[in-house]
Amino acid sequence: MKVNGRLLKALFFSIVFLITSGFTVVGHRGDPSKYPEETIQSDDSAFNSGADYVELDLHLSSDGELVISHDDDLYRVTHTHAIVSQNNWQTLSQLTYDNGEHVLSLTQLFEHYRKQPQAKFILETKIDHSIDPSYELENKIAATIKKYHMENRVMIHSFSVASLFRLRKLLPDAYLILIVGSLKRINFSNLPQVNAVNISSDLILNHPFLIHWLHRLNKQVFVWAEMDESPSLWHWLINKNIDGVVTNFPSTGFKYKLAKEGTKKYEINRQGIYFGKNKTTTMMNPYVRIKQKKFIYPGQSLNIMYGVRAHNQLYYQIANQTFVSAEFVNLDLKPQEVMPYQDKQLLAKPQTPVTIYRYPENQAKTKKILPANQLFKIKNFNGSPNSMWLKTTLGWVKARDILFYGFFDDASWQQYHNLPRMNRYTNIALTAYQPLQSPPVKTIIETLVALNKRNGSKS
């Protein structure tokens, strides 16, 4: 029996990809916990955080432009009601995200990353062919990929089997992934057309045999979930024999990828700023932590060469045999972005337990809770504008979990409104805090006198 040459080639590359790629980290819509999803800033952050791929969604505008957006209505991300399929590209391209970037087309994305071969993408076709029987979306995706020679830098996934079947004809060697949330979608009609399956984590939890079964068929297994940074969820995922995770937290995914591979040190090569209030000594290495007679100073710019995990803590290498704790080194925050919050206090939101962390990362969670009805001075900052961490005397807390306190004068509000929209937290205490006070304790005589007065007023 003769085997179709193209099918054999696709099968060969599928097996090679399966063996060599290992644990693939995919930034879901970029790095959405830090920056507005599906923007260049968000994509760059995902790649800088260790993502192998960035996942993006595609719709067609009314005049046939490939628009990068998860939703057909752009209100959630641009605060303007605009249906992609009902507006032309000229109109859509004027809309902006909270970071000031404009809505992107696939052409603009490929143009931007054309000379950055390490930037790779998973494209999702957002289409229901029972409603739209045309293949204009797939035809234009294939044409754009060919125009920019992105064949080796792009994978395509979709819930639409029809969409993937069409793309297999247009791009015979493309790496195609079927997204599934139900066992009914995994069958021998669909599987021969795809290289991998992107499965809901719930489905794998209930049917763990799926991973082994799909691997026997030479199909990769990606996992998607409503991902958070829960250590238990990540430990469960990486202990399965999966090939990749599509996550909203690519930096966490990358950390677990390193843990699975047994790697402690990884390349960063980015500029950072030391946010510490006092000068601090550096160390020759983070394992023995012998301090040197070298210092870094508040506001100093640092060239972060590598990240190293030791003693359950992250350290940055800033020069040959020179390391510093990452606790007060910021890669994504600038001093002007935290200025309005610097001299403020914070308190726990009413009826909300606020977890305290040893360091500004989710894996450093403690069992301690920020005391309610108590003000704490903000001592330092870390994270990113959309996902900021605040240092208190008790430890680190997440900015979204608390109320900022102290915006009671015009100067504070002016500084706040000068921030870019994405840097403005709305969880602000608008009125002065009145601490709870116990009622005064009265003596027996004072109580009797009060009762006599009350009884006398009633008579």
Instruction: Say if residue 10's pLDDT is above 50.
Output: no
- pLDDT-based confidence at 422, cuts 50/70/90? confident
pLDDT at 425: 95
Q: Is 409 exposed, middle or buried (0-12, 13-18, 19+ CB in 10 A)?
A: exposed
pLDDT in tens, 161-208: 999 999 999 999 999 999 998 888 888 888 999 999 999 888 888 888
pLDDT in tens, 295-330: 999 999 999 999 998 877 899 999 998 999 999 999
What distance in Å separates the CA atoms of residue 45 and residue 301, rounded to the nearest whole number? 19
Percent of the chain with pLDDT over 70: 89
Question: Average pLDDT for residues 47-56, to the nearest whole number?
Answer: 96
- pLDDT-based confidence at 291, cuts 50/70/90? confident
Q: At 406, which amino acid appears?
A: G
Contact 174, 168 (CB under 8 A): yes
pLDDT in tens, 249-277: 998 889 888 878 777 788 899 999 999 99
Instruction: Say if residue 95's pLDDT is above 50.
Output: yes
What distance in Å separates the CA atoms of residue 109 and residue 43, rounded to the nearest whole number? 10
pLDDT at 89: 98
pLDDT at 436: 53
List of domains in the chain: 21-260 (3.20.20.190), 264-330 (2.30.30), 339-423 (2.30.30)
Contact 52, 24 (CB under 8 A): yes
* CA-CA-CA-CA torsion sign (140, 141, 144, 149): negative
Which alpha helices (H) appear in 329-441, and where do they start and end? 335-338, 410-417
Contact 163, 125 (CB under 8 A): yes
Q: Is 8 exposed, middle or buried (0-12, 13-18, 19+ CB in 10 A)?
A: exposed
Task: Give residue for tokens 């970037």.
Answer: 101
Q: Which residues of 394-404 are buried (b: 16+ CB within 10 A; e: fewer)?
A: ebbbbbebbbb
- Whole-angstrom CA distances from 202 to 180, 199, 225, 265, 381 are 11, 8, 8, 32, 36
pLDDT at 9: 45
Among 311-315, 397-401, 414-418, 452-456, the range scoring the smallest mean pLDDT is 452-456
What distance in Å separates the CA atoms of residue 244 and residue 52, rounded to the nearest whole number? 10
pLDDT at 111: 98
pLDDT at 198: 96
The single-letter DSSP state of residue 97 is -
pLDDT in tens, 343-390: 999 999 988 999 999 999 888 899 999 999 999 999 999 999 989 999
SS3 206: helix
Instruction: Say if residue 238's pLDDT is above 80.
Output: no
What's the mean pLDDT when you consider all of the chain? 89
Contact 292, 281 (CB under 8 A): yes
Instruction: Say if residue 68's pLDDT is above 70.
Output: yes
175-180 and 196-200: which strand pairing? Answer: parallel
What distance in Å separates the CA atoms of residue 186 and residue 138, rounded to the nearest whole number? 22
Half-sphere exposure of 254 (CA within 13 A, CB side): 24
Instruction: Say if residue 62's pLDDT is above 90.
Output: yes
Question: Average pLDDT for residues 139-143, to the nearest whole number?
Answer: 98
- Whole-angstrom CA distances from 438 to 53, 130, 340 are 57, 66, 34
